[in-house]
Structure 1
Amino acid sequence: MADPLAQIVGLLQPGAPFSKCVTGSGPWRVRRTQSPNPYYVAVLNGSLRYWDHKSGEISVNAGDFILIPSAQDFMMWSDVPSNDNDMVIDPVILPGGGYRVGSIDGPIDMRALVGYCMFQSDDATLLSSLLPELVVVRGEYRLAMLMQLLGEEAVGSKPGREVVLLHLLEVLLIEALRSSAELGNSPGLLRGLSDDRLAVAIRGMHAEPERNWTVAELARDAALSRSGFYERFQSAVGMAPMEYLTAWRLALAKDLLRKRELSVGAIARQVGYRSASAFGVAFMRGVGVSPARYAREAAGALRGTAADEFRGAVA
């Protein structure tokens, strides 16, 4: 069966273009009121406290990774007792790179990699809509190995350090999204996949997007009544089953249109539409432009990117 989360992450092509190593000493507090992209914190040594309006307060310890898909207003502070007088407006930039919060001369009691993620695909909102407000991953063996490598690179000065950090962070992000997470009460794909019965239906939609699915068929596969399945899916994932299926089909279609290897009619059939016209109507409703126009604009953007890279290479 298909791995839905891995498929979505693969389509989005996540990266971590901005990261910084932050060290903390003594009492400190940091508040962020808005971040345009998903924000992450990977604690390498020590611990810190995290808080937002929806998730409340949690402790983040060495080896823990948190991802905030929609970072609108959150605060982090030291394990050492602090107050608003310890709020950091601008962290101190260290001579060898990195940032310091708290005492500039005191012993380091916290080290973390923080930054934001970006997606090469224009479907970033799909992932945000399918994840909880906060993803917390603890005690995962594979993540622990990645965290150790990150920590060594973050404090080292070997050639290619920035490139290695970038790719390690990309792998860490994907691994975190695929790992079991503390879900709280937030709806999203992770919660749907943690429900054994809903997971059968979700994997079925991902494995056969071209199939003429109905709620009744999905409910039967999940061994639930039609109404029970609908309500359980809506509550867990945060959207209705057919709404989720449409979002997935359109995400697949956009990827195929960007590749420009198939005709619109062939793409329509591959993602579950009986005709190009029915697909065009659904695509226009969901994306805002026709499939043909989307393909042209995507090709133009790709040519522009290639030209910019060429100019940069020969400059």
Structure 2
Amino acid sequence: MADPLAQIVGLLQPGAPFSKCVTGSGPWRVRRTQSPNPYYVAVIMGSLRYSDPRNGEVVVDAGDFILIPSARDFMMWSEAPSADNDMVVDPIILPGGGYRVGSIDGPIDMRALVGYCMFQSDDATLLSSLLPELVVVRGEHRLAMLMQLLGEEAVDNKPGRDVVLQHLLEVLLIEALRSAADLGDAPGLLRGLSDDRLAVAIRSMHAKPGRGWTVAELAREAALSRSGFHERFQDEVGMAPMEYLKAWRLALAKDLLRRREGSVGEIARQVGYRSASAFSVAFMRGVGVSPARYARDAAAIPAGMTADEFNGAIA
């Protein structure tokens, strides 16, 4: 049976091009009003507090990892009591690399890796739309081992440090998504996969995207009534079953077109459309260009660059 999360992460090709080791001492506060990409915090030593308008306050201790898929407005501050005059505008850059918040001379009571993730695919919005607004992972053994490796690598200046950190962070991102326990109240793919009934239907869609699924057939896969399945799927995943299936089919189609794996008609059949014309209409509505145009444009984009980055570079 297909692993939906692994398939989506594989399509997105996650990377961590920006990360920094931050140490804290005494009282401090940091506010971010907007981050262009999913933002993460991995606390290695001590603890900090996180808050945003939707999720409220969360204590993040050593060994905890948080991922903010759509980072718009959030604040982090020290475990030590702080006030507005402790707000950090520009962290202090340390001589050996890394950043300091709070007292420059005081004892270190917090160490964390923070940064943002990027996706080489231009389907990053698909992941953001299917994840909770805040992913919190605590006490996972595999994650703890990764955190230990990250902590050791972050404080050493060994050759290849940045490359090792990037790859460790990629693995950490995937492991965090797999291990997320605190899903909050927001719907998303992780909530759908945590529902035993819905997970069967989601895996079926991913295993056989070319099948002409109906809501009734998917409901039978989930051993639910048609209306019960539709309502439950909408509540847990945040979109209707056929809307999710369409989004997944288009994401697959875009990947196949980028890799030029078949003609438009062949790709249409692989992702569940009876004809190239029906596929072209759906693709145009969902993506904004025809499949043939999308394939031509993708062929012109250098490896490792998204369509948005390429368009910005040539604008």
Match of 1:151 in 2: 151
Residues 95 and 304 of structure 1: is their aligned pair in 2 closer, same or farther, counting only changes over 3 Å?
A: closer
Aligned positions of 1:20-99 closer than 5 A: 20-99=20-99
Amino acid at match of 1:240: A
Q: In the alignment, which residue of structure 2 is the partner of 1:176?
A: 176
How far, CA to CA, are the matches of 1:220 and 1:170 in structure 2?
37
CA drift of 1:180 comes to: 3.1
Post-superposition shift, 1:303?
7.3
Deviation, structure 1 residue 83: 1.1
Distance 2:175 2:276 in 1: 37
Correspondence 1:17 to 2:17: yes
Give the match's secondary structure for 1:302. Answer: coil
Offset at 1:181?
A: 2.5
TM alignment of 1:224-235, pairs within 5 A = 224-235=224-235
* 2-structure distance, mates of 1:49, 1:287: 39
1:75-154 map, 5 Å? 75-154=75-154
- Residue 208 of structure 1 corresponds to 208
Q: Give me the whole-angstrom Cα distance separating, in 1, the residues matched to 2:74 and 2:127.
A: 20
Q: For residues 66-108 of structure 1, give each alpha carbon's deviation from its aligned partner in whole angstroms, at most 9, with x where no partner exists.
A: 0000000000000111111111111100011000000000000
AA aligned opposite 1:299: A
Structural mapping, 1:291-310, within 5 Å: 291-302=291-302
Q: Cα offset for 1:224? A: 1.1
Give the corresponding residue for 1:4.
4
Task: In structure 1, give the amino acid aligned to 2:17.
Answer: P
Asked if 1 retains the 8 angstrom alpha-carbon contact of 2:153 and 2:161, the reply is yes
Are 2:134 and 2:183, in contact at CA under 8 Å, matched by a contact in 1?
yes
CA distance in 1, matches of 2:303, 2:195: 43
Q: How far 1:304 moved relative to its partner?
A: 10
CA shift for structure 1 position 225: 1.1
1:270 to partner: Cα distance: 0.4
Q: Matched residues in 1 for 2:254 and 2:240: separation?
A: 21
Q: TM-score of the superposition, structure 1-length normalised?
A: 0.95
Residue 199 of structure 1 corresponds to which residue in structure 2?
199
Partner secondary structure for residue 2 of structure 2 = coil
**Offset at residue 157 of structure 1 (A):** 1.1
Per-residue CA distance 1:103-156 (angstroms, 9 max, x = gap) = 000000000000001000000000000000000011111111110000000000
Correspondence for 1:260: 260
Kindly provide the amino acid, as one letter, of the partner of residue 167 in structure 1. Answer: H
For 1:289 and 1:164, how far apart are their aligned partners in 2?
Answer: 38
CA distance in 2, matches of 1:242, 1:281: 16
TM-score by length of 2: 0.95
Write the distance in 1 (CA, Å) between the matches of 2:274 and 2:175: 36
Runs of 4+ in 1 over 2 A off after TM superposition: 302-305
State how far apart, in whole Å, the 2-side matches of 1:304 and 1:8 are: 17
- In the TM superposition, residue 302 of structure 1 has moved relative to its aligned partner by 3.0
SS of residue matched to 1:89: coil
Long gaps (5+) in structure 2: 306-315
User: Is the 2:197–2:222 Cα contact (8 Å) retained in structure 1?
Assistant: yes
Aligned partners of 2:145, 2:292: CA distance in 1, in Å? 45
Deviation of 1:261 after TM superposition, in Å, equals: 2.4
Deviation at 1:255, TM superposition (A): 0.3
Query: 1:281 is matched with which residue?
Result: 281
Give the whole-Å Cα distance in 2 for the aligned partners of 1:28 and 1:110.
11
What is the CA–CA distance in structure 1 between the aligned matches of 2:303 and 2:57, rounded to whole Å?
A: 46
Provide the rounded CA distance (Å) in 2 between the counterparts of 1:73 and 1:161. Answer: 31
AA of the residue aligned to 2:80: V
Conserved in 1, the CA contact under 8 Å of 2:120 and 2:304? no
- In structure 1, C-alpha distance between the alignment counterparts of 2:227 and 2:304, rounded to whole Å: 49
Paired AA for residue 209 in structure 2: P
Mapped partners of 1:119, 1:184: distance in 2: 24
1-side partners of 2:75 and 2:290: how far apart? Answer: 42
